[in-house]
Amino acid sequence: MLITTTNVIEGRPVQEYMGVINAQSIIGANIFKDLFAGLRDVFGGRSKTYERVLEEAKEDALRELAERAQSLGANAIVGVDLDFETIGSGGSMLMVIATGTAVRI
């Protein structure tokens, strides 16, 4: 499955538009991740823990997006947009929403 943020794929014209699709991934950060990330806030530096959580949520959303496109008979997704939000009490959960257009090229 070809997934791109662009609206066209050079040299591969869209044969059929299958529709707009979306997928989301919601991941909760546990108390230990919050504790270690809090230490990074105090002492400075990057939070590898949260970076891994963000990457995992993004990959989950893109995987689900590809599955939805495939179920429609698409072989590519164009115009992909990723949105990241915190939800839950105190922003304790991370939500990634992936949206795109399923197409056949």
Q: Where does residue 46 rank: exposed (0-12), middle (13-18), buried (19+ CB within 10 A)?
A: exposed
Helix (H, G, I), strand (E, B) or coil at 32: helix
User: What is the rounded end-to-end Cα distance, in angstroms, of the chain?
Assistant: 11
pLDDT surpassing 80 at residue 12: yes
Give the C-alpha separation, 101 to 33, whole Å.
35
83: tokens are 């949105």
Write down all domains in the chain, each with its CATH number in brackets: 2-104 (3.30.110.70)
**Tens of pLDDT along 20-41?**
999 999 887 654 455 455 544 5
Provide the pLDDT for residue 45. 59
Neighbours of 100 (CB within 10 A): 26
